[in-house]
């Protein structure tokens, strides 16, 4: 097995079928955790190499970066209470069962979601976890441990819900925590796990769930706390017209005005969805450098609307990609999300305006920018060696010509190899160290036991 984890040990990923990088037709050289050299077509690396991986069957792209997910929702996919509903009724239906989650179910849900992401070519797993019922107070710790075990890079955002339906919010009281408990745990996990250094394998952000699930005080104090730790902020915003109506009646303003009022209009913030913005709001968000995670699969499933990706990018907002929770996707396949992004944006902007390279860019460089990272998201010397390698050997690719376009247009969903920080984590389509059969059995058994209604 080709490895390149040791510092100074050089692995040449040689002569790829295609690669999403300039001047690297002959492949790339990886040393330690980083890419150190591009090899032009027909050439050899400038220096000696210790190992060679023949990539002539592979299309090589930067590892995909997921910037929005809720791993726990893998336990309630395609749930009869929630299917065929728009966001607010969907949420209210699932709130009635999510409180039943147990620590072991949550651990397995995280493992399932992160493994699915990895298999789809994702090397950085973002998760927005906002459910902390009794017994799950250490949810962030669990997610960090699972990511480390799988070897996937993680960006875990400590989510929160503190505004219950008794106080005018949407979630039931049983699923909320008080602001002080949330802020105290947020500080704890920032101190314990957040690594601001380039090459970090674990980063932590703060993520009050949405305007309709937390208090104004929590929004403000989360922003202050994140600023003190140099950490980023994340929340759901602009997902549905119901949210617009809620903000008007609860706060007397639109969601973007609310964001500004609580100190969130800056370039350390990225938002999930970002659909229902006016032209003036797009300009304000772009001018402030607020990032937006586009979640095409979820937006189509819940019929929430279409993200204004092109206008946001033109205004200055980084645009990334996310699968969103597995109860509104209902999978955790980011490569599938790339294809969905291409399709829904073509429907919005036209066939010539959005290409497969745009969709791949959102899932890589755009997502990296949302997370405030310049060490991942591209295949370039000096960047972390996070790579996804796909073959075109399934029947669905037969007859395909442009290999990079084929990945998106023919519908690649499963990577053959995935490298994170210079180490192979998926080989021959299998995640290292995970028995997917046993994981499936244990996770689905708990999903039925805890959430089954039939
Ligand atoms: Zn979400």
Longest CA–CA separation in the chain, Å: 68
Q: Do domains 10-62+379-431 and 64-370 have the same CATH topology?
A: no
Triad 362, 365, 370: Cα angle to 5°: 80
* String of DSSP letters for 82-109: TTT--HHHHHHHHHHHHTT--HHHHHHH
Predicted confidence at residue 2, as pLDDT, reads 45
Residue 240: strand, helix, or coil: coil
Cα-to-centroid distance, 355 and ligand 1 (Å): 25
pLDDT in tens, the chain (454 residues): 444 556 679 999 999 999 999 999 999 999 999 999 999 999 999 999 999 999 999 999 999 999 999 999 999 999 999 999 999 899 989 998 999 999 999 999 999 999 999 999 999 999 999 999 889 999 999 999 999 999 999 999 999 999 999 998 999 999 999 999 999 999 999 999 999 999 999 999 999 999 889 999 999 999 999 999 999 999 999 999 988 999 999 899 999 999 999 999 999 999 999 999 999 999 999 999 999 999 999 999 999 999 999 999 999 999 999 999 877 889 999 999 999 999 999 999 999 999 999 999 999 999 999 999 999 999 999 999 999 999 999 999 999 999 999 999 999 999 999 999 999 999 999 999 999 999 999 999 999 999 996 5
CA torsion sign for 146, 274, 298, 72 is positive
Predicted confidence at residue 197, as pLDDT, reads 97
Cα-to-centroid distance, 299 and ligand 1 (Å): 10
Cα-to-centroid distance, 90 and ligand 1 (Å): 12
Cα-to-centroid distance, 324 and ligand 1 (Å): 5
In this structure, which CATH number among 3.20.20.20, 3.40.1360.10, 3.20.20.140, 3.20.20.70 belongs to the domain 64-370? Answer: 3.20.20.140
Cα-to-centroid distance, 345 and ligand 1 (Å): 20
Cα-to-centroid distance, 253 and ligand 1 (Å): 22
pTM for this entry: 0.97
Predicted confidence at residue 3, as pLDDT, reads 47
Cα-to-centroid distance, 334 and ligand 1 (Å): 14
Cα-to-centroid distance, 381 and ligand 1 (Å): 34
Question: In whole angstroms, what is the distance from residue 62 CA to residue 322 CA?
Answer: 16
Cα-to-centroid distance, 261 and ligand 1 (Å): 22
Which residues, by Cβ under 5 Å, contact ligand 1, an ion? 324
Question: In whole angstroms, what is the distance from residue 45 CA to residue 8 CA?
Answer: 14
Cα-to-centroid distance, 209 and ligand 1 (Å): 8
- The encoded tokens of residue 75 equal 């336990």
In this structure, which CATH number among 2.30.40.10, 3.30.1360.200, 2.40.30.40, 3.40.50.2300 belongs to the domain 10-62+379-431? Answer: 2.30.40.10
Cα-to-centroid distance, 325 and ligand 1 (Å): 5
Cα-to-centroid distance, 181 and ligand 1 (Å): 22
Give the residues across from 390 on adjacent strands.
59
Cα-to-centroid distance, 382 and ligand 1 (Å): 32
Pairing mode, strands 58-62 and 387-391: antiparallel
Cα-to-centroid distance, 375 and ligand 1 (Å): 25
Question: In whole angstroms, what is the distance from residue 269 CA to residue 223 CA?
Answer: 9
**Percent helix / strand / coil, the chain, rounded to 5:** 40, 20, 40
Cα-to-centroid distance, 58 and ligand 1 (Å): 33
Cα-to-centroid distance, 390 and ligand 1 (Å): 28
Predicted confidence at residue 326, as pLDDT, reads 75
Cα-to-centroid distance, 129 and ligand 1 (Å): 9
Q: Is there a cis peptide before residue 180, judged by omega within 30 degrees of 0? A: no
Burial of 27 (0-12, 13-18, 19+ CB in 10 A): buried
Cα-to-centroid distance, 126 and ligand 1 (Å): 11
Predicted confidence at residue 328, as pLDDT, reads 86
Q: At what angle do helices 241-251 and 87-98 cross, to 10 degrees?
A: 80
Cα-to-centroid distance, 5 and ligand 1 (Å): 34
Cα-to-centroid distance, 121 and ligand 1 (Å): 21
Residues 368 and 376 sit within 8 Å (Cβ to Cβ): yes
Predicted confidence at residue 425, as pLDDT, reads 98
Burial of 350 (0-12, 13-18, 19+ CB in 10 A): exposed
Pairing mode, strands 58-62 and 64-66: unpaired
Cα-to-centroid distance, 271 and ligand 1 (Å): 10
Predicted confidence at residue 1, as pLDDT, reads 43
Domain range summary for the chain, segments of one domain joined by +: 10-62+379-431, 64-370
């Amino acid at each position: 097995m080709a490895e390149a984890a040791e510092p100074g040990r050089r692995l040449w990923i040689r002569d790829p079928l295609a690669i999403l990088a300039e001047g690297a037709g002959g492949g790339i050289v990886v040393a330690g955790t980083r890419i150190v050299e591009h090899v032009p077509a027909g050439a050899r690396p400038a220096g000696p190499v210790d190992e060679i991986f023949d990539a002539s069957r592979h299309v090589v792209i930067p590892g995909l970066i997921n910037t929005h997910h809720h791993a726990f929702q893998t336990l309630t996919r395609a749930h009869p209470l929630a299917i065929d509903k728009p966001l607010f009724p969907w949420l209210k239906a699932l709130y009635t069962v999510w409180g039943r989650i147990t620590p072991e179910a949550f651990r397995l849900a995280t493992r399932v979601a992160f493994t699915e992401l990895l298999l789809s070519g994702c090397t950085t797993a973002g998760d927005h976890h906002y459910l902390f019922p009794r017994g799950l107070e250490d949810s962030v710790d669990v997610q960090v441990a699972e990511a480390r075990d799988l070897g996937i890079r993680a960006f875990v955002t400590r989510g929160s819900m503190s505004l219950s339906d008794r106080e005018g919010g949407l979630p039931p009281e049983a699923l909320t925590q008080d602001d002080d408990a949330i802020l105290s745990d947020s500080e704890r996990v920032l101190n314990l796990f957040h690594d601001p250094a380039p090459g970090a394998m674990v980063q932590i952000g703060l993520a009050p769930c949405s305007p309709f699930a937390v208090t104004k005080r929590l929004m403000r104090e989360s922003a202050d706390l994140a600023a003190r730790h140099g950490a980023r902020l994340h929340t759901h915003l602009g997902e549905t017209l119901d949210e617009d109506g809620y903000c008007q009646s609860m706060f007397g303003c639109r969601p973007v005005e609310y964001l500004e009022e609580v100190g969130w209009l800056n370039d350390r913030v990225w938002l999930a969805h970002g659909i229902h913005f006016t032209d003036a709001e797009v300009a304000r968000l772009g001018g402030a450098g607020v990032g937006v995670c586009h979640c095409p699969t979820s937006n189509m499933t819940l019929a929430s609307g279409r993200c204004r990706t092109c206008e946001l990018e033109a205004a200055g907002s980084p645009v990334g990609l996310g699968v969103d929770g597995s109860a509104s996707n209902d999978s955790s396949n980011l490569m599938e999300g790339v294809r969905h992004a291409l399709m829904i944006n073509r429907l919005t902007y036209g066939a010539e305006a959005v290409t497969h390279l745009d969709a791949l860019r959102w899932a890589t460089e755009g997502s990296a920018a949302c997370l405030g990272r310049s060490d991942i998201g591209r295949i370039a010397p000096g960047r972390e060696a996070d790579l996804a390698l796909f073959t075109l050997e399934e029947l669905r690719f037969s007859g395909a010509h442009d290999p990079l376009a084929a990945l998106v247009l023919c519908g690649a969903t499963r990577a053959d190899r995935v490298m994170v920080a210079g180490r192979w984590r998926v080989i021959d389509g299998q995640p290292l160290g995970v028995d997917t059969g046993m994981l499936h059995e244990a996770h689905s058994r708990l999903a039925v036991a805890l959430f089954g209604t039939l």
